[in-house]
Amino acid sequence: MTDKKTNNETSADNKQSAVSKTTDKQGQSSAKAQAPETSAPKETAAKAEASQPAPAPQPAEKQSGSKMGAIAIALVIALGAGLYYHGHQQTQAQNAKMAALQQQLAGVKSNLTNSIAATKQETLSQVEKSLQRTDVSISQQGKSITGLQMALSEMKGRRPNDWLLAEADYLVKMAGRKLWLEHDTASATILLESADHRIAELNDPSMTPIREAMHSDITALKAVARVDRDGLVLRLTSLQEAVATLPLANAIVPEATATESGTVSTSVDDWKENLKTSLKNFSEHFVTYRTRDGSVIPLLSPKQDFYLQENIKSKLETAIKSVYREQGELYTKSLMMAKEWAEQFYDMEDPAAQSFISTLDKLAQENIEASYPSTLKSQPLITNAISERLRQQVKPLSTEENPA
């Protein structure tokens, strides 16, 4: 506060001195300006000047002004030092902030590079996947284009009787399925004969090898032994139904040994033997004793009878499955086991049981296995003929699209 007051006082003194100087200058200028206008002599002017009081000396003001200047200089130096210190502190703070910002920038750059690398790898993987899908779609389109070309060429160059060849090919394939899946040689033979009639209607000499192979297949199928599977299955089913009506055998008792009946003699000396014989004959009217050698087979209980019937039916069912599967050994074993159980537990003197056993014997002698041809010679020939015709029809189309 004192510094500010001293500064204000010095500035006021300076202003006053400046004002006094200006007034003096103005007085002098006015005097000079008025000099030519007045007609007074120079002496009067000199007297007037001499009559004015002289200015007093001011040594104390000069000393106070020098002190104030020194104080002002010290204040300026202190202010400059404070400003320098403040600027230095701000510079250090700014440098620290810049270092922190540089570190943050480095972290952001590293994160950015990592994210860029990750996105680059992800993008590359996505591009590879899209390229693979594109390759697959291109290959599929190529296949579809090839199929369309073949279909178009077939439409353009189809002959009026080509449908007969296609129908013959279908019939041959159906014959193969009937033969290998169902072992139905009769149906396969009929299908092959129908296919031969279709090819004969073409009246094409180039189809002669196909017809020869087809006739060879027909001959081979006709040579296969025919097995009446349906008839065998029906007969076995009827035997299953007849099991419940078979009569069970009675208990088997061994034959008794023959015993001689005693006779009473007429001699008195044999009175003891006669008495024993008379008592024995009398007791036989109430109790009879017979001696038998061998084991007695008892009658079956109702529960055992039920199990016997179910076991025989199970063996007949196994024989039925063996007929369709052409398992001859299993078929024969099943029938022989059913026959053995029937002979052991049923009454063989009954006509129904005898008919049952004889039927099992006849069915066991049937042959249910047959050797079938592994391939049909006509099938690959007719397929190659159709493919060759399609290739011949595709060639003109490709030459028209690519003349080079």
pLDDT in tens, 363-377: 999 888 888 888 899
**Helix spans in 158-228 (H):** 162-181, 185-202, 208-222
- pLDDT at position 334 is 94
* pLDDT tens track for 214-251: 999 999 998 887 888 889 999 999 999 999 888 887 65
- pLDDT at position 16 is 46
**How many Cβ atoms are within 10 Å of 222's Cβ, its own excluded?**
11
Q: Based on the number of CB atoms within 10 Å of its own CB, is 231 exposed (0-12), middle (13-18) or buried (19 or more)? A: exposed
Q: Could you tell me which of 44, 45, 49 has the C-alpha nearest to residue 24?
A: 49
* pLDDT tens track for 287-343: 555 555 555 455 677 788 889 999 999 999 999 999 988 888 999 999 999 999 998
Lowest average pLDDT, out of 1-5, 151-155, 205-209, goes to: 1-5
DSSP state of 252: B
Torsional class of 314: left (φ above 0), alpha (ψ -120 to 50), beta (otherwise): alpha
Res. 395 pLDDT band, cuts 50 70 90: low
User: Is 70 exceeded by the pLDDT of residue 126?
Assistant: yes
Which residue bears the tokens 């024995």? 280
- As a whole number, the mean pLDDT across the chain is 76
Amino acid type, 395: K
Which residue bears the tokens 């033979």? 189
Q: Which two tokens mark 226?
A: 């025919």
Q: Which one is predicted more confidently, 24 or 314?
A: 314
Can you tell me the distance from the alpha carbon of 266 to that of 156, in angstroms, rounded to the nearest whole number? 129
Handedness of CA 82, 83, 87, 88 (dihedral sign): negative
* pLDDT tens track for 27-85: 444 333 333 343 344 444 444 444 454 444 455 566 777 888 888 888 889 888 888 88
Point out which residues pair with 252 in neighbouring strands: 297
User: Is 70 exceeded by the pLDDT of residue 280?
Assistant: yes
* pLDDT tens track for 164-181: 888 999 999 999 999 888
Q: What DSSP line would sit under 19-47, residue for residue?
A: HHHHHHHHHHHHHHHHTTT----HHHHHH
Q: For 17-36, b where at least 16 C-beta lie within 10 A, e where not — what string?
A: eeeeeeeeeeeeeeeeeeee
Which contacts qualify for 144-150: CB closer than 8 Å, 24 or more apart? Answer: 149/394, 149/397, 149/398, 150/390, 150/393, 150/394
- pLDDT at position 137 is 87
- pLDDT at position 151 is 67
Point out which residues pair with 256 in neighbouring strands: 292
The dihedrals phi and psi of 292, each to the nearest 5 degrees, come to: -130, 140
- pLDDT at position 197 is 92
The dihedrals phi and psi of 46, each to the nearest 5 degrees, come to: -70, -40
Res. 12 pLDDT band, cuts 50 70 90: very low
User: Is 60 exceeded by the pLDDT of residue 148?
Assistant: yes
Q: Based on the number of CB atoms within 10 Å of its own CB, is 214 exposed (0-12), middle (13-18) or buried (19 or more)? A: buried
Lowest average pLDDT, out of 103-107, 253-257, 296-300, goes to: 253-257
Which residue bears the tokens 């009946």? 261
User: Is 80 exceeded by the pLDDT of residue 399?
Assistant: no
Point out which residues pair with 292 in neighbouring strands: 256
Residues of the chain with pLDDT > 70, as a percent, come to 68
Res. 22 pLDDT band, cuts 50 70 90: very low
Which residue bears the tokens 């570190």? 103
Residues with Cβ within 8 Å of residue 153, at least 6 apart in sequence: 390, 393, 394, 396, 397
Q: What does the pLDDT average to over 9-37?
A: 42
**How many Cβ atoms are within 10 Å of 379's Cβ, its own excluded?**
20
Domain coordinates in residue numbering, the chain: 1-12+62-157, 162-226+372-401, 228-247+296-369
Coil, helix or strand for 297?
A: strand
